[in-house]
Amino acid sequence: MEAEGIDVDEYVFYPDGDETTTKFEEKNETSQTVTSTDLNMILAAISAQTATMSSQLEEQKTYMSSQMESQETRITSKMEKQLESQENRITAKIESQEARISEMSSEITSKIEAQEARISEMSTQISAQVSSQISAPLESRMEEKLTQFQEGFSGRQDKMEAEIDALKDRIQEFQLNRPITSTSTLKVKSPTFDGSVPFQVFKLQF
């Protein structure tokens, strides 16, 4: 009985043989009482642990949120500073480039004006030289050309007069030596003026 965990001093013996039933009933009641107590304790412990974990999770959530907000604020501030610094550097570079472009434009403008002045001066000098070279010999050359033209025209005029005289002689000779023919049967093909002879000669031939 001691090996089975039964207290001998508190055990009640029943002579009619019901001691076995009583023993098992007491044992079951004790076991049920112990089990119910253990379950309540376990549930209480679980509830306490759950509450503790919920509180810890909430604290962790709050801490993480505050850390994230702080980190986000730091990152945003750092990025804003970097962007502002970069913007300032870019603005300074653009202003420097604009100043250099303005300076180069001024230099180019001054060079262009100097070149235009030199070109104008050279043009004036060339015009003066050409005028001095042309104005004096021009009249003499024109007179020379006019003289040559007049001489050539006189020569051509003498030649034309000689040809006209020759044609007149040929016409007179033809008129004197022509046979007597009837005007009704005479057919002469008129010559064609091709410009090879003067018109006056062609007129006499016609």
Question: b/e string for 27-41 if b means 16 or more Cβ within 10 A?
Answer: eeeeeeeeeeeeeee
Q: How far apart are CA 45 and CA 134, in angstroms?
A: 127
Question: Using one digit for the tens of pLDDT, what is the confidence trace for 154-176?
Answer: 777 778 888 888 888 888 777 77
Confidence grade of residue 188 (pLDDT, cut at 50, 70, 90) = low
pLDDT tens-digit map of 10-43: 666 655 544 444 444 555 555 556 577 778 888 8
- CA 28 to chain CA centroid, Å, is 96
DSSP states of 139-159 as a string? HHHHHHHHHHHHHHHHHHHHH
What pLDDT is recorded for position 28? Answer: 54
- The percent of residues above 70 in pLDDT, for the chain, comes to 75
Mean pLDDT, residues 175-179 = 65
The model carries a pTM of 0.30
At residue 190, the 3 state secondary structure works out as: coil
